[in-house]
């Protein structure tokens, strides 16, 4: 059977993608961040995932306010990059894993999670930046991807608990997938940041570090944290952190923290990365 080999939580800051794309990883502004994530890249190289399930949000690239799925799963063979602002990054197309994606769709929907099935979809920095965090700038991404797109853009977003329970359902589904795939699960977004309004530029490192602690040792407690706490403490876009709960739900109750990085600032956000293995 397929096997979840671990989970990664990571911010998906577009400026990190731009730094990689424009060869700035060794510049003084960026070097300290990339030094902190070197052990993440080393772990992924060693872990050799065949496929990554990436919980991320689209930022009005593939979807718009015309259509807002709460949870969408990409079942296509290929997902081209897209982005707001400067347009698509010059990164390889993302290869899907249709058999696993369809298995997940069936298992999750019959498990009473009403997924939207997406046959055609581009993927933006929410998904491609985490790939670059893990794999740097290869000619071809070294693993397949099942995109799991979550609405955290238009209120109401799903609760942290709903995301945590979805992660548990993903775990049940992967455990029943008849293959020998090594599956890595990612929760992306965050950490504290607010991109507009009076509190633009908000960073709350205390909240972020407490979140990193709690997602390791008390995920059920963290899953009960309401939206208002994220908004108040981590800013309007800090709500992206609920997607990390999907990753955490797919792991065992007890996990081992392999590596953690926290860096402020990247762009005007607080950046966190954590690597977890089942204990
Ligand atoms: C920015 C955008 C994001 O989607 C995010 O998660 C963090 C930062 C930005 O535009 O800086
Ligand atoms: Fe984002």
Ligand 1: residue whose CA is nearest its atom 8: 13
pLDDT (tens digit, 9 = 90+) per residue, 94-114?
A: 999 999 999 999 999 999 999
DSSP string of 82-107, one letter each residue: --STT---S-PPEE--HHHHHHHHHH
125 carries an active-site annotation:
yes
pLDDT at 82: 96
For residues 258-270, average pLDDT: 95
Instruction: Tokens for 24, please give them.
Output: 């700035």
The structure's pTM equals 0.98
Angle formed at CA 122 by CA 15 and CA 44, multiple of 5 degrees:
60
Q: What does the radius of gyration of the chain's CA atoms come to, in whole angstroms?
A: 17
For residues 39-48, average pLDDT: 98
For residues 134-162, average pLDDT: 98
Would the CA dihedral through 214, 45, 17, 122 be positive or negative?
Answer: negative
| Distance in angstroms (rounded) separating the CA atoms of residues 151 and 147 | 13
For residues 45-67, average pLDDT: 97
Instruction: Tokens for 96, please give them.
Output: 């899907």
Ligand nearest to the CA of 18: 1
Which member of 12, 59, 103, 125 is catalytic? Answer: 125
For ligand 1, the distance from its centroid to the CA atom of residue 13, given in whole angstroms, is 5
Instruction: Tokens for 239, please give them.
Output: 């709500």
Exposure of 145 in the CB half-sphere (CA atoms within 13 A): 27
Instruction: Choose which residue among 9, 15, 272 to substitute to test ligand 1 binding: the one with the highest number of ligand atoms within 8 A of its C-beta.
Output: 15
Ligand 1: residue whose CA is nearest its atom 2: 13
For ligand 1, the distance from its centroid to the CA atom of residue 172, given in whole angstroms, is 32
Judge whether residue 85 has pLDDT over 90: no
Closest CA to 244 of 135, 158, 117: 158
pLDDT at 42: 98
For residues 144-159, average pLDDT: 98
Ligand 1 residue neighbourhood (C-beta within 6 Å):
12-15, 59, 189, 193, 195, 237, 240, 267, 269
For ligand 2, the distance from its centroid to the CA atom of residue 12, given in whole angstroms, is 6
pLDDT at 84: 86
Ligand 1: residue whose CA is nearest its atom 3: 13
| Distance in angstroms (rounded) separating the CA atoms of residues 71 and 102 | 14
Judge whether residue 14 has pLDDT over 90: yes
How high is the mean pLDDT of the chain?
97
Question: Are 255 and 277 a contacting pair, CB within 8 Å?
Answer: yes
Would the CA dihedral through 81, 96, 245, 131 be positive or negative?
Answer: negative
pLDDT at 180: 96
pLDDT (tens digit, 9 = 90+) per residue, 185-222?
A: 999 999 999 999 999 999 999 999 999 999 999 999 99
227 carries an active-site annotation:
no
DSSP string of 66-78, one letter each residue: T---SEEEE-SSE
Which member of 12, 103, 193, 263 is catalytic? Answer: 193
Judge whether residue 86 has pLDDT over 90: no
């Amino acid at each position: 059977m397929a096997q979840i080999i671990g989970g990664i939580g990571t911010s998906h800051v577009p400026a990190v993608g731009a730094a990689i794309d424009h060869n700035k990883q060794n510049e003084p502004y960026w070097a300290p961040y990339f030094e902190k994530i070197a052990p993440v890249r080393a772990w992924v190289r060693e872990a050799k995932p065949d496929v990554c399930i990436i919980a991320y949000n689209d930022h009005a690239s593939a979807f718009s306010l015309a259509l807002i799925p709460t949870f969408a799963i990409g079942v296509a063979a290929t997902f081209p990059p897209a982005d707001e602002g400067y347009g698509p990054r010059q990164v390889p197309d993302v290869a899907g894993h249709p058999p696993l994606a369809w298995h997940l769709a069936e298992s999750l929907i019959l498990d009473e999670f009403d997924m939207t099935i997406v046959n055609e979809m581009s993927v933006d920095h929410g998904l491609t930046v985490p790939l670059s965090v893990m794999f740097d700038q290869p000619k071809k991404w070294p693993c397949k991807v099942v995109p799991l797109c979550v609405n955290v853009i238009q209120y109401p977003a799903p609760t942290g608990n709903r995301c945590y329970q979805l992660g548990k359902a993903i775990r049940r589904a992967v455990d029943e997938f008849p293959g020998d795939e090594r599956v890595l699960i990612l929760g992306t977004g965050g950490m504290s940041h607010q991109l507009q309004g009076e509190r633009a530029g908000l960073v709350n490192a205390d909240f972020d570090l407490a979140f990193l602690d709690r997602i390791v040792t008390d995920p059920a407690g963290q899953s009960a944290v309401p939206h208002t706490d994220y908004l108040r403490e981590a800013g309007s876009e800090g709500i992206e952190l609920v997607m990390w709960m999907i990753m955490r739900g797919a792991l065992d109750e007890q996990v081992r923290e392999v590596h953690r990085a926290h860096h402020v600032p990247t762009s005007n956000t607080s950046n966190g990365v954590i690597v977890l293995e089942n204990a």
